[in-house]
Structure 1
Amino acid sequence: MTDIPAFSDRFARDGTVLRHPDRPAPRYSLPRAVKNFRLLMKDKEDTSLVFKIYESLPSKNFMPRVEALTLSEHGDYLRRTEPNLPDILDDHAALRRTPEGSLAHAYCDFMESEGLTAAGLVAEAEKLGRPKYPDLVQWFGDRSRDTHDLFHVLTGYGRDALGEQCVLLFTHGQSPTQGHLLIGYAGAANIRKMVWGSKAPVIGAVRQAKRIGRGAPKLIEQPIRELLKQPLDRVRSALNIPEPTLYRECHRIWREEGLDPYDLLASEKPGGEPAAA
């Protein structure tokens, strides 16, 4: 278990404590994580279950990562200039004033086409009713959550079933947690079961996503406001994010097999037999 007292006596330059002494210690519970994962498989739109899974599988390296960023000069700069990412990400009018082809335009296109907002993801997390604390852990955790949809845009992984698993494994490559591994790999295995007999390299796609995430600089440490102004291709190059070739290969193969990558369940034959079998 994390040595909580050792973190409650460390402060940022502005006096914000690293970890508030009243913040509960993380409690590891694999059974609770598995239970919530099974519920998630029944209701994939209930994003609150994802947060419950993460809470059940805390990483022992989480606090060292929080400390390394938030107590650094760079972390202090990010907290001053980007205290709350949803305020920046949901201001589409301001984002649209950046040059055409920018990450900001691509982000707005993605969020508007999907009917999403950064505030919406915050609301899903707050369904859990967890208390907030005035500490650096809160800022770090919120920033990790609020960059999720930016991952979709930067990597090219869509919001289809496989795309979501790939983003989770990309995120694991950035910030390793058992929660990302559980949802990502178990979700990929479930996709393979749904399209049994398909030649699409589903497991290869999520493994590639994990490698890409591991090889890219951590997005949470980047000045998001500045990245948004830059051309999308330039940002991807700077962050060492290549084309998601195996993910796209899965989509190509599924379409050839008569499967809709964005609605795999609807592609099943009557009686539950996969169309590609």
Structure 2
Amino acid sequence: MKIDHKFSTPTDSQMPFVHPERPAARFRPLKALHHFRELIKDKEDTEQVFHIFEALPRPGFRKDARKFVESDKGRALLQNEPELAVILDDHDRLRQMPAGSLAHAYCDFMEKEGLSAAGLIAEYDQFSPRKYGDLIEWYGFRQRDTHDLLHVLTGYGRDALGEACVLAFTYGQNPALGNVFIAYAAGLNMKKQVKGDVPIFKAIREAQKMGKACPKITDESILDLLAQPLDALRERLHIQTPHFYHQAHRQFRALNVDPYDMLAQAA
């Protein structure tokens, strides 16, 4: 089932690939470490994540962005899906998609967690209010706005390990250093808190491998993905049940450890 969901937006011919006033990316690992320490005090402090990604720019990002936005698929998605948040927050429209689809699972997840795509954007805007209106920005925002969708696709929760696994999965898809840095640094902090051989790093590596095996979600039509049956979609995208993640949760419970409070405990 496809839903015709077009928006009024500038065409790719009207948008520069890189705005002339966009500053060059700078690699600042110590700044990333500082903001990670702030993040473990409160894993809901999303602004710290944005600082980390800014401090650890992905090599090859502009090359990959140009290749995508200049492709036929990229140009079509720019016209049909210019703002993913508008699509993802329209739960009334998403609920019209078939029962058992990714759309219904996504709405259930977001409503249960009290989340919205617009909320994530608001947090980003506090971090970076300047908008450049270039194609690199549009490409990057697709990666930002699909984060919670990846939770639903992969089955990872919003606990500390689940967030680390989603970032590891994302690194397998788009190897930004911020993804892998947060994932493994968080894993190290969790390892310090638990006794026994809880497979924290195995879960993170498993997620990374699944992300690499899966077609790039941000390069797909999100509307088309949302309309598909979730179980069949996972099979098509090579997304398996995360074995080590669930094993880690069983061991956490046996140790009376709350996986949803681990980063706060570490801080």
**Does the residue aligned with 1:262 lie in a helix, a strand or coil?**
helix
Q: Aligned letter for 2:49?
A: V
Check conservation: 1:29, 1:57, Cα contact below 8 A. Answer: yes
Q: CA deviation at 1:257?
A: 2.6
Q: Counterpart of 2:222 in structure 1: which amino acid?
A: I
Quick one: structure 1 residues 251 and 222, their matched pair in 2 at CA, closer, same or farther if it must change by over 3 Å?
Answer: same
Read off the aligned partner of 1:234 and give its amino acid letter.
Answer: A
TM-fit CA distance, 1:265: 7.0
Q: Which moved more, 1:254-263 or 1:108-117?
A: 254-263
Contact 1:161 1:262 in 2 (8 A): yes
Equivalences for residues 155-234 of structure 1 within 5 A? 155-195=154-194, 197-234=195-232
Contact 2:41 2:263 in 1 (8 A): no
Q: Please, what TM-score do these two structures have when normalized by structure 1?
A: 0.89
2:242 partner letter: P
Q: Deviations over 1:160-186 (max 9, x none)?
A: 010000001111101002111111000
- Report the equivalent of 1:243: 241
- Percent identity over paired residues: 50
- For residue 236 of structure 1, report the CA deviation from its aligned partner: 0.8
1:85 aligns with 2:84: yes
In our comparison, the structure showing a higher alpha carbon Rg is 1
Give the stretch that moved more between structures: 248-257 or 56-65. Answer: 248-257
Structure with larger RCO (C-alpha < 8 A, sep 6+):
2
State the alpha-carbon separation in 2 of the partners of residues 53 and 38 from structure 1: 10
Task: Give the aligned partner of residue 4 of structure 1.
Answer: none
Matching of residue 145 in structure 1 with residue 144 in structure 2: yes
What is the Cα deviation at residue 258 of structure 1?
A: 2.6
Matched, 1:120 2:119: yes
The aligned residue for residue 6 of structure 2 is none
Number of the residue aligned with 2:63: 64
CA distance in 1, matches of 2:39, 2:263: 16
State the match for 1:18 in structure 2.
17
Distance 1:264 1:24 in 2: 36
CA distance in structure 2 between the aligned counterparts of 1:105 and 1:256, rounded to whole angstroms: 32
Whether 1:104 and 2:106 are equivalent positions in the alignment is no
What is the CA–CA distance in structure 2 between the aligned matches of 1:58 and 1:257, rounded to whole Å?
A: 38
The answer to whether the 8 A contact 2:12-2:135 is kept is no
Q: CA deviation at 1:249?
A: 0.7
Give the deviation of 1:243 after TM superposition: 0.9
- In structure 2, C-alpha distance between the alignment counterparts of 1:155 and 1:23, rounded to whole Å: 34
- SS of structure 2 residue aligned to 1:127: helix
TM-score (norm 2): 0.92
Q: Is the 8 A contact 1:198 1:254 kept in 2?
A: no
Q: Deviating runs (4+, > 4 A) in structure 1?
A: none
Query: 2: distance between equivalents of 1:46 and 1:261?
Result: 17
* Cα deviation digits, residues 182-219 of structure 1 (max 9, x gap): 11000011011122x13320010001111111111000
Unaligned runs of 5+ in 2: 1-10
Structure-2 separation of matches of 1:188 and 1:84: 33
Following TM superposition, by how much is the alpha carbon of 1:253 offset from its aligned partner in structure 2, in angstroms? Answer: 1.7
Give how far 1:259 is off.
2.6
Partner of 1:76: 75
Please tell me whether the aligned partners of residues 194 and 265 of structure 1 are also in contact (alpha carbons under 8 angstroms).
Answer: no
C-alpha separation between the residues in 1 aligned to 2:99 and 2:121?
A: 28
Distance 1:97 1:198 in 2: 47
- CA shift at 1:13, angstroms? 5.0
- Measured against aligned partners, the alpha-carbon deviations of 1:132-179 in whole angstroms (never above 9, x if no partner) come to 112101101111100000110000000001000000111110100211
Equivalents in 2 of 1:87, 1:251: separation in Å?
A: 34
Let me know the Cα RMSD of the aligned residues: 1.6
| Count of residue pairs brought into register by the alignment | 256
